[in-house]
């Protein structure tokens, strides 16, 4: 491949002509490093888990290249043509993007659970509109999204960040060019410098407060593109740095990225300050190649294989992930070496896409007019939205089960009918009607999750929210406290509170058990503070009864920080300390045992896939109990004899040995180990009877 000497500020750098453009060969090599790192990380190579930093390298490159393009246009004409800029971006990005979105919809339909189609259809729509990063950020803090698998378009989040930058930054450049005139470059540098600093500081703060959100949102990532953009705006000054220093800087940059790939992993706090390593490393590599610099990494980065892969990097990035998702859905236990081969083979569809779809559109004469290019972009975005909507619509195709209404789906109430005394629910193979349908199970949950009551306290917020239900004017009060496994009973207990005229106070926080023990895992570092404050609220309130329940079975002993050290003893002891404080204050406490945990795939997914063979979706009752939070609760109760146990297991798993997926035409389980609201509401009589028994008739009602 021939190279040319391209003049930039009086110096030369290794470049090549490409469809009328002049591109830097070393930057193509940097793209190879970036995409190769991502593929290695996604393949699961254990000693290179930090390969995800390739995305950060891409951000710096994009900021540098796009800003350089805009800067040259402002220098020539004093302005930026927004329509021309966006038309070029559309031609460059959308043909391949829309093709892979259609492919992602197809593999979702063919290989992934039908229950995932609505979620992934929405992801595809968001990806087509380049806002999927915000959707994923919202999902990242949604505890009840725990069953959603890896989206086939999850990798589009970084493209969304870049596109949002491409939308805003040209407008700012245009305004600065008009206002600052001859001093536009200084103005642009100042404005972008402020934005970059603010984004970096905000990223530090958000990573601490809400890391799941911080990873995806643009506001915490723009500073990475900003570093590249600032380098582009200051390129002429950087070129004056002695070549030997820039050459050394280039090798240091490679070393920094290599360090990040080998040392960082999923435990590294991200984004935070850690991305400074690959980001500054990428900036040093770019700076070293601003001119031909003897001894720099330019020659290495400009060899033919590096340049060729770099030219395909965008397509490779798009194609590799949905291929991997489909393969692992079909073969979950695929060995590492086969995954690595699969990642290498993703170059094939990437090459074909680049050769026959991207380049003909990008460089062909038909879409050269700006209007046609913009029209194409809008059409391709519509295609992405359309395939996402089609995927959503496919959920109801071929359904063999109708949606039941309450009149023909008694649920747990069917257990009280003498006519059903000999029914073995776990042996029922099929039903004609069901409530909720398996594809709607994730939405069958207490309304407070969706309303604006604020009862669902998000991760990062250590302040308890006290929500009142039932007869809020009553002088009798029952408090329910715990995580989402306590919250799932809220509607059933609310109905009992309304019937009996007492106030129900809800204090719940998803994934936070009510225990004076550390569960410093999965970014739940605020749970202990939340629990301590909630405990004081309860003692001050002096309610007539406290009911508690949670899912997590173990916790970290004092002085331990590794999840491997977590024990049931630590969890139970922490629970017992809180319970003792409450019972010593003269407040009765009831531990509502966690329901048995499904021991295989999510029950609702199994039901969706096996509507005519529901027996495949039942599971062993003993194992389900052993895997639940009931183990710790029972152990804690031995330490606090005043605590009473409320056990709904016989209602949830009435067959003795097996837990059924469907009882009385009601689907029992939704996400993870949670029960559907429909089933809990159908078990109100049994719940009231159990409550009546453990409170000596003060609350609840006996079975009639």
Q: What's the CA angle centered on 459, arms 581 and 165, to 5 degrees?
A: 165
Residue 139 has a pLDDT of 80
Q: Both 478 and 389 in a single domain?
A: no
428 belongs to a structural domain: no
* Phi and psi, residue 21, nearest 5°: -105, 165
- Of 393, 413, 444, the residue at which a domain comes to its end is 393
Tell me the C-alpha distance between 441 and 678, whole Å: 10
Does 241 reside within a domain? yes
Q: Are strands 644-646 and 619-620 parallel, antiparallel or unpaired?
A: unpaired
The tokens for 317 are: 């990035």
Instruction: Let me know the angle formed at the C-alpha of 471 by 468 and 476, rounded to the nearest 5 degrees.
Output: 90
Specify burial of residue 23 (Cβ count, 10 A radius: 0-12, 13-18, 19+): middle
Q: For residues 477 and 470, give the distance between their C-alpha atoms in angstroms, rounded to a whole number.
A: 10
Residue 607 located in a structural domain: no
In terms of Cβ atoms closer than 10 Å to its own Cβ (0-12, 13-18, 19+), residue 98 is buried
- The distance in angstroms from the start CA to the end CA of the chain is 87
CB-side neighbour CA atoms (13 Å) of 41: 23
Q: Quick check: bond before 279 cis, omega within 30?
A: no
User: In what order do the strands lie in the sheet containing 21-24?
Assistant: 4-8, 11-18, 21-24
For residues 647 and 628, the answer to whether their CB atoms sit within 8 Å is no
Phi (first) and psi of residue 594, to 5 degrees: -60, 140
What gap in Å lies between CA 138 and CA 216, rounded to an integer?
Answer: 9
Domains of the chain: total: 2
- Which residues make beta-bridge pairs with 14? 5
Q: Dump the DSSP string for 650-661.
A: HHHSTTSSEE-S
- Shared domain for 471 and 388, answered yes or no, is no
Same domain, 253 and 146: yes
Q: What pLDDT, on the 0 to 100 scale, is given for residue 525?
A: 56
**Predicted pLDDT at 10:** 34
Are residues 300 and 175 located together in one domain of the fold? yes
Pick the last residue of a domain from 361, 393, 425: 393
| pLDDT beneath 70: ranges in the chain | 1-21, 141-148, 181, 398, 520-525
Distance, in Å, from the CA atom of 621 to the CA atom of 212, rounded to the nearest integer, reads 34
Question: What's the CATH number where 644 sits?
Answer: 3.40.50.1110
> 545: helix, coil or strand?
strand
H runs (alpha helix) in 78-155? 82-111, 117-128, 132-140
In a domain, 427, yes or no: no
Q: Which of 647, 286, 211, 293 is nearest to 459 (CA)?
A: 211
User: Does 608 fall in a domain?
Assistant: no
**Is 658 a domain residue?**
no
DSSP labels, 674-694: PBPHHHHHHTHHHHHHHHHHH
pLDDT, residue 596, reads: 95
Please tell me whether residues 388 and 263 are part of one structural domain: yes
Residue 223 makes CB contacts below 8 A (sequence gap 6+) with 195, 196, 197, 199, 200, 203
Tokens of 501: 């005229």
**CB atoms < 10 A from the CB of 367, how many?**
21
In angstroms, the CA 669 to CA 201 distance is 42
pTM of the model: 0.83
Pairing state between β 503-508 and 467-470: antiparallel
Angle CA(318)–CA(322)–CA(323) in degrees, nearest 5? Answer: 105
Rounded Cα distance, 489 and 442, in Å: 16
Q: Which of 679, 701, 691, 692 is closest to 415 using CA atoms? A: 679
In this prediction, residue 476 carries a pLDDT of: 95
Question: CA-to-CA distance for 267 and 265, rounded, in angstroms?
Answer: 5
Q: Which helix (H) or strand (E) holds 512?
A: none
Is residue 675 assigned to a domain? Answer: no
Per the structure, the complete domain to which residue 380 belongs is given by: 6-393
Report how far residue 568's alpha carbon sits from residue 555's, in angstroms, rounded to the nearest whole number: 7
pLDDT of residue 545: 97
Beta strands in 258-399 (DSSP E): none
Lookup: tokens for 676 = 């559907």
Could you give the CA distance from residue 213 to residue 209 in angstroms, rounded to a whole number? 9
**What does the H/E/C string look like for 154-223?**
CCHHHHHHHHHHHHHHHHHHHHHHHHHHHHHHHHHHHHHHHHHHHHHHHHHHHHHHCHHHHCCCHHHCHH
Whether 473 and 556 map to the same domain: the answer is: yes
User: Average pLDDT, whole number, for the chain?
Assistant: 89
Angle, helices 276-288 vs 222-233, to 10°: value is: 20
**Contact between 344 and 329 (Cβ < 8 Å):** no
Instruction: Output helix, strand, coil percentages for the chain, rounded to the nearest 5.
Output: 60, 10, 30
Give me 60's structure tokens: 């710096």
591 phi, psi to nearest 5 deg: -100, 110
Contact yes or no for 33/303 (Cβ under 8 A): no
Domain boundary (351, 368, 393) is at 393
- Position 519 scores a pLDDT of 81
């Amino acid at each position: 491949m021939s190279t040319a000497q391209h003049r930039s500020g009086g110096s030369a750098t290794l470049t090549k002509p490409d469809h009328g453009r002049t591109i830097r060969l070393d930057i193509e090599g940097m793209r190879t490093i970036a995409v190769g790192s991502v593929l290695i990380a996604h393949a699961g190579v254990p000693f290179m888990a930090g390969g995800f930093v390739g995305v950060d390298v891409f951000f710096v490159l994009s900021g540098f290249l796009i800003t350089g393009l805009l800067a040259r246009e402002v220098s020539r004409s004093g302005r930026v043509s927004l329509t021309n800029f966006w038309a070029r971006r559309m031609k460059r990005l959308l043909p391949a993007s829309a093709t892979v979105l259609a492919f992602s919809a197809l593999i979702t339909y063919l290989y992934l659970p039908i229950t995932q189609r609505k979620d992934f259809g929405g992801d595809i729509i968001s990806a087509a509109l380049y806002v999927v990063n915000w959707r994923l950020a919202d999902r990242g803090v949604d505890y009840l999204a725990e069953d959603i698998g890896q989206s086939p378009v999850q990798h589009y989040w970084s493209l969304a960040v870049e596109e949002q930058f491409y939308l805003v930054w040209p407008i700012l450049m245009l305004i600065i060019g008009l206002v600052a005139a001859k001093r536009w470059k200084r103005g642009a540098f100042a404005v972008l410098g402020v934005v970059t600093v603010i984004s970096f500081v905000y990223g530090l703060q958000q990573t601490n407060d809400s890391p799941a959100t911080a990873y995806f949102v643009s506001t915490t990532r723009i500073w990475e593109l900003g570093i590249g953009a600032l380098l582009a705006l200051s390129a002429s000054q950087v070129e004056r740095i002695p070549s030997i220093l820039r050459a050394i800087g280039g090798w240091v940059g490679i070393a920094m990225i290599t360090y990040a790939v080998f040392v960082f992993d999923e435990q590294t706090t991200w984004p935070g300050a850690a991305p400074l390593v690959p980001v500054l490393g990428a900036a040093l590599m770019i700076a070293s190649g601003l001119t031909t610099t003897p001894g720099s990494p330019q020659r290495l980065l400009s060899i033919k294989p590096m340049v060729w892969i770099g030219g395909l990097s965008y397509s490779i990035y798009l194609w590799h992930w949905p291929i991997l998702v489909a393969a692992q859905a079909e073969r979950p236990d695929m060995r590492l070496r086969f995954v690595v081969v699969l990642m290498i083979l993703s170059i094939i569809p990437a090459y074909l896409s680049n050769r026959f779809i991207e380049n003909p559109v990008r460089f062909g004469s038909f879409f050269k007019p700006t209007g046609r290019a913009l029209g194409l972009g809008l059409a391709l975005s519509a295609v992405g939205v359309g395939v996402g909507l089609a995927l959503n619509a496919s959920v109801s195709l071929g359904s063999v089960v109708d949606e039941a209404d309450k009149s023909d789906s008694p649920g747990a109430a069917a257990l009280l009918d003498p006519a059903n005394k000999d029914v073995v629910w776990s042996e029922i193979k099929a039903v004609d009607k069901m409530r909720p349908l398996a594809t709607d199970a994730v939405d069958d949950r207490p309304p407070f999750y969706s309303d604006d009551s604020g009862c669902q306290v998000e991760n990062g917020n250590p302040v308890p929210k006290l929500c009142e239900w039932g007869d809020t004017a009553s002088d009798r009060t029952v408090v329910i406290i715990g995580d989402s496994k306590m919250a799932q009973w809220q509607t059933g207990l609310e109905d009992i509170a309304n019937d009996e005229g007492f106030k129900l106070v809800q204090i719940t926080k998803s994934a936070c058990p009510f225990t004076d023990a550390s569960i410093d895992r999965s970014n739940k570092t605020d749970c202990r503070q939340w629990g301590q404050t909630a405990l004081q609220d309860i003692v001050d309130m002096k309610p007539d009864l406290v009911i508690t329940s949670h899912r997590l079975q173990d916790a970290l002993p004092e002085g331990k920080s590794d999840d491997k050290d977590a024990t049931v003893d630590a969890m139970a002891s922490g629970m017992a300390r809180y319970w003792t404080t409450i019972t010593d204050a003269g407040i009765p406490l009831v531990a509502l045992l966690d329901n048995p945990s499904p021991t295989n795939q999510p029950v609702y997914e199994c039901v969706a896939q096996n509507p005519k063979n529901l027996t495949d979706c039942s599971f062993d009752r003993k194992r389900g109990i052993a895997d639940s939070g009931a183990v710790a609760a029972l152990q804690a109760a031995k330490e606090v004899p005043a605590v009473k146990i409320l056990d709904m297991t016989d209602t949830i798993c009435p067959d003795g040995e097996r837990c059924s997926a469907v009882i009385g035409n009601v689907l029992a389980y939704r996400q993870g180990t949670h029960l559907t609201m429909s089933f809990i509401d159908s078990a109100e009589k049994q719940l009231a009877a159990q409550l009546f028994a453990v409170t000596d008739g003060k609350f609840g009602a006996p079975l009639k």
